[in-house]
């Protein structure tokens, strides 16, 4: 057997674990997105309530409402993509 082939096999064996995905917490990114969405809604609601009593700046209220609108539109778009993917899976022949 050739020394180069042994060296190549050894290099491949040592590099192989680096290509395997590491353990990732399940749903960490999705959970963080849900928490961000919920915190955006809570902040906007609190700012809206304080604006009703005259304690908040109208400009800050408009910014909070724009952020909330963007968050809701993003959530609806993601939901629609998930439903579309699910329907596509259901149409697949078995």
Q: What is the pLDDT along the chain (94 residues), one digit of tens a residue?
A: 556 666 766 676 666 555 555 555 666 777 788 888 889 999 999 999 999 888 888 898 999 999 999 999 999 999 999 999 999 999 998 7
CA distance 68 to 37: 8
pTM, to two decimals? 0.61
pLDDT at site 30 = 74
pLDDT at site 16 = 54
Q: What is the Cα 18 distance to its own chain's centre?
A: 25
47 in Cβ contact with 56 (< 8 Å): yes
CA distance 74 to 51: 25
pLDDT at site 32 = 83
């Amino acid at each position: 057997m050739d020394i180069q082939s042994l060296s190549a096999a050894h290099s491949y064996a040592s590099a192989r674990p680096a290509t395997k995905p590491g353990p990732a917490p399940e749903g960490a990114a999705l959970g963080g997105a849900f928490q961000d969405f919920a915190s955006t809604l809570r902040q906007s609601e609190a700012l809206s309530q304080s604006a009703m009593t005259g304690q908040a700046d109208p400009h800050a209220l408009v910014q909070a409402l724009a952020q909330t609108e963007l968050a809701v539109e993003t959530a609806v778009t993601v939901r629609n993509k998930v439903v579309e993917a699910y329907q596509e899976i259901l149409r697949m022949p078995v």
